[in-house]
Amino acid sequence: MKIAHISDLHLDANYKKENYYNTLHLIEYIIENKFDHVIISGDITENAEPASFELAREIFKRAGLLNKDKLTVVIGNHDIFGGVHLAEDVINFPAKCRKTNFYSKVNEFVYYFRETFEKNLNTHGNPFPFIKELDEIVITGFNSIAGYSVVKNPFASNGRISMSKLMFAEKMLEQNPFKNKKRIAITHHHFSKNYGDTTASSAALWLAIEKQTMKLRGKKKVIKHFSQMGIELVLHGHQHVNRVYSRKNVRFVNSGGSILGDIFGKLSLNEININSGNITNKFVHIDKKIQPVSSHTLQTASIPSHFINTKEICLN
């Protein structure tokens, strides 16, 4: 079984034109190379707006991925609270976060990608965490986004996974006949201690800020429970880098650099292969294209009219 793990697409119906085209190219590569399944670990949209969710849904639909057997997604902080684009957004963002109905936004996210949640095992009325069985693997998907707090989560980017959610997942994995299947968990937030090595003062300052505003609270307990559940691989994003690391004998892979942060200036995905009971993974780097993807792959995915530049569009 071959799985493509990508993350942090940050699609927006009004901004970030490059993200849109990069996502098309990435999906084109996945389809042409016949991946069996795609996992997206959050921040599919930039601003959690209906038009952006529709844009993402259209891309997945045209690619034939809107199917529980083809696609698995978890939610990111941008899929609930959005982000900042303009200078005035910095001032207005806290008020926007306070007005955001957390649970309504989670349900909205699930609605737009509802086909991928069909027949998941979960608690009544709660889409997360969920258990999904696919051939050789069992996937446990978590909502790692913390509620907004002026003190503990001022940028709406910190994370939390409650003990009750972990216990539910652990119980479900114990009660079902998943003993011979490889276990994978998906979150949006990272578990890394290393925020990068740099001597540049500006970069060091940013990393210090990031450490306090993009962290997962209680991650040591989460890692302990993952280990107890027999989870071998945890997939996430959030930090816009590609990284593989281990904590407590659990392997973690960050694919947050799929379209935004790859150090080679290319698109990338985490290719996971499950063969004869073994899980291996590697990052694949893909050249960016000047022109959008060919129509034969994505069946002429709809392009927002304000993105169109007749000099560069060629979908023949």
Split the chain (316 residues) into runs of 10 and give each run's mean pLDDT.
Answer: 97 92 96 98 97 97 97 98 77 92 97 96 88 94 97 94 95 86 96 60 51 84 96 96 93 95 82 92 87 52 54 31
Beta strand ranges found along the chain (DSSP E): 2-6, 37-41, 71-74, 121-122, 130-134, 137-141, 159-160, 182-186, 216-217, 233-236, 242-247, 250-255, 267-275, 278-286
The answer to whether residue 312 sits within a structural domain is no
Question: What domain count does the chain have?
Answer: 1
In this predicted structure, what is the pLDDT of residue 22?
Answer: 95
Residue 14, domain CATH = 3.60.21.10
What the block records as the tokens of 27 is 């999906």
In this predicted structure, what is the pLDDT of residue 194?
Answer: 63
The answer to whether residue 315 sits within a structural domain is no
Is residue 115 within 8 Å of residue 68, measured between CB atoms? Answer: yes
Burial class (CB in 10 A: 0-12, 13-18, 19+), 46: buried
Query: Rounded to two decimals, what is the model's pTM?
Result: 0.90
In this predicted structure, what is the pLDDT of residue 225?
Answer: 96
The answer to whether residue 89 sits within a structural domain is yes
In this predicted structure, what is the pLDDT of residue 316?
Answer: 25
Domain interval for residue 265: 2-307
Question: Mind giving me the DSSP string for 64-80?
Answer: T--STTTEEEE--GGGT
In this predicted structure, what is the pLDDT of residue 178?
Answer: 87
The answer to whether residue 113 sits within a structural domain is yes
**First-to-final CA distance of the chain:** 32
In this predicted structure, what is the pLDDT of residue 199?
Answer: 46
In this predicted structure, what is the pLDDT of residue 302?
Answer: 59
The answer to whether residue 316 sits within a structural domain is no
Nearest-10 Cα torsion for 162, 141, 42, 108: -80
Burial class (CB in 10 A: 0-12, 13-18, 19+), 197: exposed
Nearest to 149 by CA among 102, 105, 97: 97
In this predicted structure, what is the pLDDT of residue 211?
Answer: 60
The answer to whether residue 197 sits within a structural domain is yes
Is residue 215 within 8 Å of residue 224, measured between CB atoms? Answer: no
Is residue 239 within 8 Å of residue 189, measured between CB atoms? Answer: no
- From the CA atom positions of the chain, what is the Rg in Å? 19
Say if strands 137-141 and 182-186 run parallel, antiparallel, or are unpaired. Answer: parallel
In this predicted structure, what is the pLDDT of residue 123?
Answer: 78
- How far is Cα 201 from Cα 45, in angstroms, rounded to an integer? 31
The answer to whether residue 74 sits within a structural domain is yes
The answer to whether residue 27 sits within a structural domain is yes
